[in-house]
Copies of this chain bind each other. A is one copy, B any other.
Amino acid sequence: MEHPDTGARADFAVVDIDRERRQGLPEVVYAPGKDLHEITAIVGELTANCSGPVLVTRIEADAAAAVLADVPDGHYHRRARLLTWRPAARRRCRVCVVTAGTADGRVAEEALQVCLAVGLDAHLVADVGVAGIHRVLNRVDELRAADIVIVVAGMEGALASVVGGLVGCPVVAVPTSTGYGAALNGMTALAAMLTSCASGMSVVNIDSGFGAAMAAHRLAYAIEARG
């Protein structure tokens, strides 16, 4: 196996600039726990050493503004808490992001905006939870036109199972921390999605719209590799 020469090593971080070659996308920066100067330095390394889109996730508006002051030409999406530079050209992979309720919107927005930032052809089908099952049934054609469906749902997460049974393509379920009491901060939706009666779904971490978008990127990577 190759041993790339470590790339850009700082005191505090070793940026994996080889990742773009291995996985078709530069390393993405997860903001929590990092100082502003660390974020700025890492973004600088990525911009200098990679050619694809550069993303910072889960960054609040104030911090984003401070980073943008240092690293210009970026764009901040407030609801998705996403900071981007050099968004990718549109790729052919169609992603449908479906949500059970309006309270799941912020996580869905992260999934949607990360998909768009890395070039996927993504759109949103919102608020079609199963308590009114006709809502999702009326949108079946949109779901079936996608190459991958991301289902974002909290509480009991039942929408994932229904969607999983309606479409044949890959379904990635994102449990959210919406709800209270026995919702257990998303653990219930997580466990429910993992034990879904609709086979072949897979699951990412609670509230991880980013993780689902990256799963979509991997799918697009595989489809493109086949071309």
Q: Is A74 an interface residue (CB 8 A)?
A: no
Closest chain-B Cβ to A209's Cβ sits at a distance in Å of 12
Given contacts A194-B204, A203-B202, contact A131 B161 (CB under 8 A): yes
Q: Is A210 an interface residue (CB 8 A)?
A: yes
**Inter-chain contact B223/A12, CB cutoff 8 Å:** no
Q: Mark A149-172, 1 if CB is under 8 A from B, else 0.
A: 000000111100110111111111
Stretch at the interface among A15-23, A60-68, A82-90: A15-23
Q: Is A50 an interface residue (CB 8 A)?
A: no
Name the one of B134, B214, B225 contacting A147, with C-beta atoms under 8 angstroms. Answer: B225
Residues from chain B with Cβ under 8 Å of A221 in the complex? 168-170
The 5 closest A-B pairs by CB, nearest first: A200-B214, A181-B206, A33-B103, A202-B202, A16-B132
Query: What are 15 A-B residue pairs whose CB atoms fall within 8 Å in the complex?
Result: A6-B135, A12-B102, A131-B198, A133-B133, A155-B197, A157-B192, A170-B221, A171-B218, A172-B202, A177-B181, A181-B185, A194-B204, A195-B205, A200-B215, A202-B211
Interface residues in chain A, defined as those with a beta carbon under 8 Å from any beta carbon in chain B: 1-6, 11-14, 16, 18-19, 22-24, 27-28, 30, 32-34, 38, 92, 100-103, 105, 126-135, 137-138, 140, 147-148, 155-158, 161-162, 164-172, 175, 177-208, 210-215, 217-219, 221-223, 225-226
